[in-house]
Structure 1
């Protein structure tokens, strides 16, 4: 299987990067092809221009590469920190520029975009790994865990990816080496669950 793996963290030695490395190694050990992109290292431009918005087309070769791969992906893994209850800007820009109409979804003929979309992604499962410094109780009771809703319903559900799971590792700032080792074991288990040999 071809699995698209997207990392959205600016620091190359972050725990997010360790998660991505663990995901890629596990996928390869299971016989899958990991199509990996570190958005920061690639200098992915997150800005959706007016021309690109109106035309629904792009001349950006990197965006075209991402669009081609996401259409072919049998599974998708996204890794990023929780910033203000949202993905970092570079990940939001990736969503805006890559998961476009006629790439990730379409609308029925005669629908101007106000109705229900038809997801076009063939990925069987979407898996998201997040890190956060917000305690779980506060995230759920005060903020309502917006990242879960964003990824499950607003993105993967919209684009036709029906199987979804998400893991949040917290509190990352106070975590110990032992906790991080346990978390990476959990990453391996999740990847093995959704993308086995």
Structure 2
């Protein structure tokens, strides 16, 4: 059975973000397994600190909390990030998780070769503004450049799907739940 790691980054367990993650997990669970990583509830520290900098400089071992997150990703056959859009990007908690966990020697090497080729990534962003606003201000291009290419492309991970859910979408929010349940059901049917 294939297994998905669903990472959610929102401090309110009653939020739309958490509901979307739960509905997506429901869809995955119809045929596959999943693990839910609730970064806020688990108290993950997103602050890139001197120990992380020393690791980058090859002066220390990988911190235990980073090793634990890398192990979760290593167990997964797909990575799913469910997050609200804050200032046209990830929330700081999720960005800090990536900053600390996607380390040199694990996610990429010194020759700038991506080491996560086996890992399909699915992005589910939840936004307050409608698609016209995002298109007008270039969010789609920014998301592709910064997140899809700049992070996952650099690490060699293929972004298998990228979904932007907005409050302006038809049948909000119920339509979102149907959409993410379908994404969950089809998570492992995406091919490169």
Judge same fold: TM > 0.5, yes or no: yes
TM-score by length of 1: 0.84
Residue number in structure 1 paired with 2:25:
24
User: Shift of residue 93 of structure 1?
Assistant: 0.6
User: Shift of residue 20 of structure 1?
Assistant: 1.0
TM-score by length of 2: 0.86
How many residue pairs get matched? 183
Residue number in structure 2 paired with 1:44:
44
Structure 1 segments of 4+ aligned residues over 6 angstroms from their partners: none
Unaligned ranges ≥5, structure 2: none
Aligned mates of 1:75, 1:88 — CA distance in 2: 21
Residue number in structure 2 paired with 1:112:
none
User: Shift of residue 91 of structure 1?
Assistant: 0.4
Aligned mates of 1:185, 1:48 — CA distance in 2: 36
Q: Residue by residue, what CA displacement relative to the aligned partner does 1:73-103 show, whole Å, maximum 9, x if unpaired?
A: 2111000001001111100110001111111
Which SS does the other structure have where 2:173 is aligned?
A: helix
Aligned mates of 1:25, 1:142 — CA distance in 2: 33
Residue number in structure 1 paired with 2:62:
58
Residue number in structure 1 paired with 2:175:
182
Residue number in structure 1 paired with 2:102:
99
Aligned mates of 2:129, 2:118 — CA distance in 1: 30
Aligned mates of 1:75, 1:86 — CA distance in 2: 21
User: Shift of residue 169 of structure 1?
Assistant: 1.1
